[in-house]
Structure 1
Amino acid sequence: MSSDPADLANLRDIVLPPPVSLWPFAPGVWIILAGILLAVPVASVRAWRRHRANAYRREALRELDAAPDAAAILPLLKRAAIVAYGREQVASLSGAAFLALLDRTGGTTAFTSGPARLLPNLVYAQGATMTAEDVATASADARRWLRNHRAREG
């Protein structure tokens, strides 16, 4: 070693600190983990309740697939609407008023202005008919309403 402070022989290696330990976790990590542990059961319960609340939709879609004719579509929609919106609000509606409810709750105009407007005639009128294309369109409109309408909360 030299007495000259600028001599390169006087340099020493850089001493690095020991690596940071992963344990124990920092307080922020514990807070995030606690939040996740609380969120998982809450999300699971909400998903389970939503699944149970939508059982009527799945059943109605199954019945729509197995419907023997187009006259079965409107009573099926009526039963689903009663479950979704309550007997007090839906049971007294028929014909154009019920179709207007379907349009309002489904965010569409398919029931009052499309081929589905003919569905009450199939149920209530003797000898009423629809073309196969109109039946297919009305069935698709019913399926769309069953999937997309917003049921009341509660």
Structure 2
Amino acid sequence: MIYRENMLQNLEPIIVPDPIAFWPPQPGWYVVAIILLGLTILGVIKWMAYKRKNEYRNWALQELQKLNVLKADYKEIDLLNKLLKATALQGYPRTEVAGLYGAKWLQFLEETYPKARFTVTPGIFLEEASYRRNGSINIKDEDWVEIIRLSGEWIKGHKINRR
């Protein structure tokens, strides 16, 4: 037993290395930092371009909320048609969109967003409105709600064909 105690006393203390310095980093970390900074800047630029590109959709959805009244007459339907046309002009060439009305207009809306069915009831009220200037349109409340819903879907989901 004494022999073991003598052996423990003869041990040298453990030499602990100096702690690894946090700064300055090795050159590889500078490369990683530059790459991350570049990717961050690129991401912000892409995000801003995306937001700018879809800004007209947000505007159109806000305007659509203003039209979301319980009773609809010719005036509201006409305003909805104008809103959809103004929205379409932001994403499509003027020559392709400006002259559309009636059935061709509804067909264009369906072609640019096939999930929205404008050529069947109640979407046909949009076509009717283009032929009845200051006339009365008999539209049920549930049909008007459906037209507003269809229009909102189209605004959110239509394919963009930038010039």
> What is aligned with 2:96?
89
CA RMSD in angstroms, aligned pairs only: 2.7
CA drift of 1:139 comes to: 0.6
Task: Determine if the alignment matches structure 1 residue 73 to structure 2 residue 80.
Answer: yes
Q: How does 1:3-82 map to 2 (within 5 A)?
A: 10-67=10-67, 69-82=76-89
- Over residues 30-72 of structure 1, what are the superposed CA-to-partner deviations in whole Å (9 max), with x where a residue is unaligned? 1221123223333333333333333322222232222362332
- Over residues 51-97 of structure 1, what are the superposed CA-to-partner deviations in whole Å (9 max), with x where a residue is unaligned? 33333222222322223623321221012111111112212322222
TM-score of the superposed pair, with normalisation by structure 2: 0.74
Q: Work out the percentage of aligned pairs sharing the same amino acid.
A: 28
Q: Is the 8 A contact 2:84 2:151 kept in 1?
A: yes
Is the alpha carbon distance of 1:127 and 1:104 closer, same or farther for their aligned partners in structure 2, counting shifts above 3 Å? Answer: same
- Structure 2: 5+ residue runs without aligned partners? 1-6, 68-74
Distance between the aligned counterparts of 2:124 and 2:33, measured in 1?
A: 54
Name the structure, 1 or 2, with higher relative contact order (CA <8 Å, separation 6+). 2
> What is aligned with 2:3?
none
- Structure 1: 5+ residue runs without aligned partners? 1-6
CA drift of 1:122 comes to: 2.2
CA drift of 1:9 comes to: 5.3
CA drift of 1:13 comes to: 4.4
Runs of 4+ in 1 over 6 A off after TM superposition: none
Task: Determine if the alignment matches structure 1 residue 105 to structure 2 residue 112.
Answer: yes
Q: Is the 8 A contact 2:112 2:158 kept in 1?
A: yes
